[in-house]
């Protein structure tokens, strides 16, 4: 049931993403492929992934889970809701604080949840990764990322 819901959600999200990409304003100067190609590739890959999840969900045989097995993972709907809420906060902070800072905050929260008790490791990896990606994209590849409160 959850995989069918996930598949429908991914398909709906990808269709919305593709629709938003189609409505994106494009200037007629510059690259002949245009700035829409990459978002179309992302949206198409998401759509294929969602359809694949749905096909697997409908074609697989129902199996009875052994809740006594040591491999059994108890469903955690509050954890899923927490991750969604945390991602929503990340999207909200992205334009205000910029890529590097908001990505660091997001990764610190996610890594603290999934890698509990290793605070120094979580913080250092999150900050180093976020600022390294920001530096590589803005300085070496000349790609503009949301600077937020940081100078570009």
At 23-61, the pLDDT tens digits run 777 666 666 566 667 888 888 999 999 999 999 988 887
**Co-location of 6 and 40 in the same domain:** yes
**Co-location of 12 and 82 in the same domain:** no
CA distance 146 to 44: 25
Gyration radius of the chain's alpha carbons: 20
Of the candidate ranges 59-63, 69-73, 105-109, 142-146, the one whose mean pLDDT is the lowest: 69-73
Residue corresponding to tokens 């709906």: 12
User: Does residue 77 carry a pLDDT above 70?
Assistant: yes
What pLDDT is attached to residue 52? Answer: 93
**Under 8 Å CB-to-CB from 71, ≥6 apart: which residues?**
none
What is the share, in percent, of the chain residues with pLDDT greater than 90? 24
Q: Is the pTM of the predicted complex or chain greater than 0.85?
A: no
Nearest to 104 by CA among 122, 126, 121: 126
Distances in Å between the Cα of 88 and the Cα atoms of 3, 4, 92, 114 are 22, 23, 6, 18
**Under 8 Å CB-to-CB from 97, ≥6 apart: which residues?**
105, 148, 149
Total domains, the chain: 2
Residue 59 forms part of a structural domain = yes
Q: Both tokens of residue 37? A: 């190609």
Domain C-terminal end among 63, 83, 110: 63
**Co-location of 79 and 148 in the same domain:** yes
Nearest to 18 by CA among 34, 45, 40: 40
**Co-location of 79 and 152 in the same domain:** yes
**Co-location of 84 and 52 in the same domain:** no
**Co-location of 46 and 82 in the same domain:** no
- Residue 58: domain span: 1-63
**Co-location of 1 and 49 in the same domain:** yes
Residue 70 forms part of a structural domain = no
Kindly report the backbone phi and psi dihedral angles of residue 75, in degrees, each rounded to the nearest multiple of 5, phi listed first.
-60, 140
Helix ranges, the chain (H): 2-22, 37-59, 77-97, 99-114, 119-135
What pLDDT is attached to residue 47? Answer: 93
């Amino acid at each position: 049931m959850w995989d069918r819901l996930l598949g429908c959600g991914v398909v709906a999200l990808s269709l919305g993403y593709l629709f938003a990409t189609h409505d994106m304003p494009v200037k007629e100067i510059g690259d002949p492929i245009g700035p829409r190609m990459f978002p179309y590739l992302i949206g198409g890959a998401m759509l294929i992934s969602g359809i694949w999840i749905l096909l697997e969900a409908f074609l697989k045989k129902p199996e009875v889970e052994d809740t006594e097995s040591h491999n059994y993972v108890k469903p955690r709907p509050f954890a899923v809701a927490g991750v969604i809420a945390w991602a929503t906060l990340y999207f909200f902070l992205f334009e205000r604080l910029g890529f590097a800072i908001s990505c660091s905050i997001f990764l610190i929260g996610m890594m603290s949840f999934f890698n509990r008790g290793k605070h120094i490791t979580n913080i250092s990896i999150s900050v180093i990764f976020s600022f390294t990606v920001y530096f590589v994209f803005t300085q070496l590849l000349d790609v503009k990322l949301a600077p937020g409160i940081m100078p570009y």
